[in-house]
C-alpha cells in the first residue's frame, strides 16, 4: 500500500521547519489556539498538524483533508461523542495517533455509533488509539477507504471491535480486539463487490468477545498471520456463505464453539442469497486446540437474528440449496481430537474423515484415511440421536419440521399428518462418498436414507 509507506505528517515544508502546528486544549486561548478540535480541523490547511493536549473533549470531529491529529496518549486525550461517530474521516490522507475515542452514539445508520468511521476514498493511518464503549463498532472502514492500524485497542464496544466492509481494505498489526459485545472483527465484502486487495491482520489478539471472534462473509480476501483468536464465547472464526481467506501460523484456542466453522445460512434466515455458498481457504501451520466444539467443522449457522447489522435483511423469494462448496488447501495444522491433552472437546474435524473437504497432510496428527467400516457406519431406525452424533458427528444441515414443511409449501396445522411432520427434525450428512438423510422423531431415528456416491 503506497500511502502507508509515507508519514502523512511530513512534507517539504515540514523538512524546512515551516510546517504549521495548531494547538487544542480544554482551556483554549491564550494557552492554545483552540478549545475545540473541530475548530482546529476547519482552520488547518492540508499537511498541517493539530496537537491535542490532555483532557476530555465532548464533540464529533469530521475530517476530509490531509492533516495530522496527535493526542497526548489514550489515557490522557479522550474524545467523547455528542451524537454520531466520534471521528468521521471521508477524504484525504489522514494520520491520527495517541488518543481515545468513546461513546459513539446513534442508530439511524450503523456507522453513526462508531468510534472512528473511515469511508469514501480516505487513506488513514491510526496508531496508539483506544476505541472503547461505542454503541456500534470501535473502528469501521468502508466503501473505498484504505487504512493502517497499529498498536490500537478495540474494547467493550456494543457490537464489533473492527468492521471492514465493501471494497475497503486495511493492514492491522499489534492490535487487541477484546471483550466486544457481539463480534470481535467482521470482514464483509458485500454481495456484489469484488474485493481485489487483501486485508492483512498480523500479530493481533482477538479474545474474550461475547460472540464470534472473527466473521468473514461475502468475499473479502483476508490474511490472518500470527494471530491469537482465543476465549471468544462462540466460534473462533466463522467463514459464512462466501469467503476467501488465508490462515497462517496462528493460534485458535479455548473458544466456546468450533475453532474454525465453515457455514452456510440456516433455514428461515431472512437473508437474500443469490449465489451458491462457497468458501476458499488456505490454512497452514496453525494450532487449533481446546475449543468447546470441533477444531474445524462444516455446517449451518444463523447470524441474522443475533447480528442484524451484519446481514442483508430482505426475505428470500425462495429457499435455495444449502450445500456449500468448500475449497481448502494447506498442511501441517495441529488440530488434536477430544482424547488429547489439548484436544477440542467434540473432536478434531467434522466431518471427521480426511479426503473429503480436508486434504491429505492438512492435519499433522491424523491418518489420511479412515477405515471403510468407520467411514460409512450403518444408521438404523430406532437408533438414539446421541448414537448418531457419536458415529457421524454434527449434521451438515439440521432442519426443524416447520422449516422442512415451509420448503414444501405446507402449512403447519392443516392436518394430523402435517402436525406429526412438524414435530420431527431432519438431518443431512454430506460425507466423502456418502450422504445420509435422517428423520428424527422424539430423539430417535424414524427414517433413514443412505446414498453412496
Q: pTM of the prediction?
A: 0.76
pLDDT at 431: 73
pLDDT digits (tens, 9 = 90+) for 6-35: 344 444 444 445 789 999 999 999 999 999
| 8 Å CB contact between 77 and 128 | no
Average pLDDT, the chain: 82
pLDDT at 7: 44
State which of 178-192, 236-250, 368-382 shows the largest mean pLDDT.
236-250
Q: What is the CA angle 299-302-307, rounded to 5?
A: 140
Confidence of residue 275 (pLDDT cuts 50, 70, 90): low
pLDDT at 375: 55
Confidence of residue 62 (pLDDT cuts 50, 70, 90): very high
The proportion of the chain whose per-residue pLDDT surpasses 90, expressed as a percent, equals: 51
Architecture of domain 379-452: 2-Layer Sandwich (3.30)
pLDDT at 19: 87
| 8 Å CB contact between 67 and 43 | no
pLDDT digits (tens, 9 = 90+) for 202-230: 999 999 999 999 999 876 789 999 999 99
Radius of gyration of the chain (CA): 25
pLDDT digits (tens, 9 = 90+) for 166-206: 889 899 999 999 999 999 999 987 544 555 688 999 999 99
| CA 319/CA 282 separation, integer angstroms | 30
The better pLDDT of the pair 267, 439 is held by 439
The better pLDDT of the pair 85, 277 is held by 85
pLDDT digits (tens, 9 = 90+) for 321-334: 345 678 888 888 99
pLDDT at 41: 97
Q: Is the dihedral of CA 176, 181, 187, 189 positive or negative?
A: negative
| 8 Å CB contact between 130 and 162 | no
DSSP state of 250: -
Please compute the mean of the pLDDT values over residues 254-260 and round it to a whole number: 95
Right CATH for 1-181 from 1.10.3720.10, 3.90.920.20, 3.40.50.970, 2.160.20.10: 2.160.20.10
pLDDT at 63: 97
Cα distance between the two ends of the chain = 47
| 8 Å CB contact between 252 and 230 | yes
| CA 269/CA 316 separation, integer angstroms | 8
Determine which helix (DSSP H) or strand (DSSP E) holds 312, and give its type and residue range.
none
Can you give the residue ranges of every domain in the chain? 1-181, 190-370, 379-452
Amino acid at each position: 500500500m503506497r500511502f502507508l509507506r509515507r508519514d502523512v505528517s511530513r512534507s517539504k515544508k515540514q523538512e524546512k521547519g515551516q510546517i504549521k502546528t495548531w494547538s487544542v486544549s480544554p482551556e483554549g486561548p491564550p494557552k492554545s489556539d483552540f478549545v475545540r478540535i473541530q475548530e482546529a480541523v476547519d482552520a488547518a490547511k492540508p499537511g498541517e498538524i493539530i496537537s491535542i493536549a490532555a483532557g476530555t473533549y465532548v464533540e464529533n470531529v469530521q475530517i476530509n483533508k490531509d492533516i495530522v491529529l496527535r493526542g497526548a496518549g489514550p489515557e490522557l486525550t479522550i474524545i467523547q461523542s455528542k451524537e454520531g461517530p466520534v471521528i468521521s474521516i471521508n477524504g484525504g490522507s489522514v494520520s491520527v495517533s495517541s488518543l481515545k475515542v468513546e461513546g459513539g452514539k446513534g442508530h439511524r445508520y450503523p456507522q453513526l455509533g462508531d468510534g472512528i468511521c473511515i469511508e469514501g476514498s480516505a487513506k488513514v493511518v491510526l496508531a496508539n488509539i483506544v476505541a472503547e464503549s461505542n454503541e456500534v463498532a470501535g473502528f469501521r472502514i468502508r466503501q473505498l477507504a484504505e487504512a493502517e492500524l497499529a498498536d490500537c485497542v478495540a474494547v467493550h464496544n456494543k457490537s464489533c471491535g473492527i468492521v471492514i466492509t465493501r471494497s475497503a481494505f486495511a493492514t492491522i498489526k499489534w492490535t487487541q480486539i477484546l471483550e466486544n459485545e457481539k463480534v470481535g472483527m467482521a470482514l464483509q465484502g458485500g454481495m456484489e463487490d469484488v474485493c481485489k486487495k487483501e486485508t492483512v491482520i498480523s500479530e493481533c489478539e482477538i479474545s474474550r468477545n461475547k460472540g464470534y471472534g472473527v466473521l468473514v462473509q461475502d468475499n473479502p480476501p483476508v490474511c490472518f498471520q500470527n494471530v491469537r483468536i482465543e476465549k471468544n464465547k462462540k466460534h473462533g472464526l466463522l467463514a459464512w456463505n462466501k469467503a476467501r481467506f488465508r490462515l497462517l501460523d496462528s493460534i485458535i484456542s479455548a473458544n466456546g464453539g468450533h475453532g474454525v466453522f465453515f457455514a452456510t445460512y440456516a433455514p428461515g434466515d431472512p437473508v437474500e442469497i443469490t449465489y451458491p455458498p462457497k468458501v476458499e481457504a488456505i490454512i497452514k501451520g496453525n494450532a487449533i486446540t481446546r475449543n468447546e466444539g470441533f477444531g474445524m467443522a462444516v455446517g449451518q449457522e444463523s447470524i441474522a437474528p443475533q447480528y442484524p447489522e451484519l446481514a442483508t435483511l430482505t426475505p428470500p423469494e425462495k429457499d435455495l440449496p444449502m450445500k456449500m462448496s468448500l475449497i481448502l488447501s494447506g498442511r501441517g495444522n495441529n488440530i488434536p481430537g477430544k482424547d488429547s491433552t489439548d484436544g477440542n472437546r467434540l473432536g478434531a474435524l467434522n466431518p471427521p474423515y480426511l479426503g473429503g473437504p480436508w486434504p491429505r497432510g492438512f492435519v499433522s496428527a491424523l491418518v489420511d484415511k479412515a477405515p471403510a467400516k468407520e467411514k460409512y457406519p450403518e444408521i438404523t431406525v430406532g437408533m438414539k440421536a446421541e448414537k448418531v452424533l457419536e458415529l457421524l458427528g454434527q449434521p451438515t444441515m439440521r432442519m426443524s419440521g416447520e422449516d422442512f414443511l415451509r420448503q414444501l409449501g405446507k402449512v403447519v396445522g392443516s392436518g394430523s399428518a402435517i402436525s406429526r411432520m412438524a414435530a420431527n427434525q431432519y438431518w443431512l450428512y454430506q460425507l466423502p462418498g456418502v450422504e445420509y438423510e435422517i428423520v428424527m422423531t422424539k430423539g430417535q431415528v424414524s427414517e433413514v436414507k443412505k446414498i453412496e456416491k
